[in-house]
Amino acid sequence: MDVLSEVLKVVKLQGALFYNGEFSSPWSFYSPPSRTVAPYVAPDARHVIVYHLLTEGRASARLVEGERIILEAGDIVIFPHGDAHFLENGPPAKSVDMEKELARIFSQGLKRSTSGGGGEITKFVCGFMACEPRLSQVFLSGLPPVFKVNIRNDASGRWLENSIRFSVNEADASRAGGEAVLAKLSEVLFVETLRTYIAHLPVEQTGWLAGARDSEVGKTLALMHRNPAHPWTIASLAKEAGVSRSVLADWTPGCWRILLAVAADAEADGQGHHRALRVR
């Protein structure tokens, strides 16, 4: 069983693209914490993930107190926990505070925005993913504050980028269904990025994200999915799935909360708490 796909069925995501930029160096902009963006994109969401996909040129990204991450065309940089950050290119320049521009940005849709000092061109699109409150904290716990993935390294990523570029360029045409297409592409982009990130995690990596690529974990998920009401223990799961108990015991309680919610199809008991897995 594909652990990541099953988890994503529980942790519902809602995405969209909201900014289409073409900047010439030098330029810099400050992106506020995602909680500031949330009222514009998903008022009911308790958490919003912001990302930027570079389609041409170069740039760099950094957290307010973080190190600079060099970006090139095809890179997508994601801020899973909603941290404020900077995007920039060229010599130091005064940053445009995007918090003050949010009303304008969301009123113009995906009409291309241009700015900068007249030098090297960088093009990018920005998007968001609104996470359903249920389990989103545990779901995102395995991700760093910021990470990047290049989606041009395989055919599916290149197809996805081309589809996004085409759809963004067509956005002004107001074709029927265009908004729905962009929303789905945004979601696919996030999942594809997550898949690539997981695939390149170090072998020694622990946590549920690393476990999501483990076929033995997939076997235990299949067991719980078929019989979610059973009082499973690590010992009984290991025996029935024919896997090592030590492998399952390495998983943290947060990892098991995710799998239990998936197995039970996110049904909680009358107290609003998910079942616990007994370790014995």
**Cβ neighbours of 233 (radius 10 Å):** 15
Assess whether 147 and 14 both reside in one domain. Answer: yes
As beta bridge partners, residue 69 has 61
Tokens of 150: 């290049």
Assess whether 213 and 186 both reside in one domain. Answer: no
Q: What's the pLDDT band for 134 if we cut at 50, 70, 90?
A: low
Assess whether 44 and 144 both reside in one domain. Answer: yes
Assess whether 193 and 238 both reside in one domain. Answer: no
Peptide bond into 26 cis (omega under 30): yes
- Residue 231 has φ and ψ, to the nearest 5°, of -75, 75
Q: Is residue 272 part of a domain?
A: no
| Domain CATH number, residue 194 | 2.60.120.280
d(C-alpha 40, C-alpha 53), whole Å: 20
3-state helix, strand, coil in the chain (%, to 5): 40, 25, 35
Q: What is the pLDDT of residue 119?
A: 94
Full residue range of the structural domain in which residue 157 is found: 3-199
Looking at every residue in the chain, the average pLDDT score rounds to 80
Q: Is residue 245 part of a domain?
A: yes
Strand 147-150 to strand 69-72: parallel, antiparallel, or no bridges (unpaired)?
A: unpaired
Q: Is residue 17 part of a domain?
A: yes
Tokens of 78: 């994601």
Tokens of 20: 């289409």
Question: How many domains does the chain contain in total?
Answer: 2
Assess whether 146 and 191 both reside in one domain. Answer: yes
Contacts with 156 (C-beta within 8 Å, 6 or more apart), sequence order:
192
Q: What is the pLDDT of residue 133?
A: 56
Q: Is residue 271 part of a domain?
A: no
Assess whether 49 and 137 both reside in one domain. Answer: yes
pLDDT one-digit tens code per residue, 106-131: 888 888 999 999 999 999 999 988 87
Assess whether 245 and 141 both reside in one domain. Answer: no
Q: What's the pLDDT band for 236 if we cut at 50, 70, 90?
A: confident
Comparing 170 with 122, the larger pLDDT belongs to: 122
pLDDT one-digit tens code per residue, 264-280: 554 444 333 444 455 44
Q: Is residue 257 part of a domain?
A: yes
Label residue 224 left, alpha or beta by phi (over 0 means left) and psi (-120 to 50 means alpha). alpha
**Cβ neighbours of 35 (radius 10 Å):** 13
Q: Say what the pTM is.
A: 0.80
d(C-alpha 140, C-alpha 54), whole Å: 23
Assess whether 230 and 163 both reside in one domain. Answer: no
Assess whether 174 and 54 both reside in one domain. Answer: yes
Q: Is residue 279 part of a domain?
A: no
Assess whether 109 and 221 both reside in one domain. Answer: no
Torsion (CA) 99, 90, 72, 200 in degrees, nearest 10: -70
Comparing 69 with 110, the larger pLDDT belongs to: 69
Identify the domain boundary among 155, 180, 199. 199
Assess whether 138 and 246 both reside in one domain. Answer: no
- Evaluate whether 7 touches 254 at the Cβ level (below 8 Å): no
Tokens of 214: 């483990």
Q: Is residue 275 part of a domain?
A: no
Q: Is residue 94 part of a domain?
A: yes
In the sheet with 75-79, reading across from the earlier edge strand, the strands are 113-116, 13-24, 121-131, 47-56, 75-79, 147-150
Least confident of 9-13, 40-44, 81-85, 264-268: 264-268
Assess whether 31 and 168 both reside in one domain. Answer: yes
d(C-alpha 139, C-alpha 194), whole Å: 12
**Quick one: average pLDDT of 166-180?**
72
Identify the domain boundary among 199, 232, 249. 199
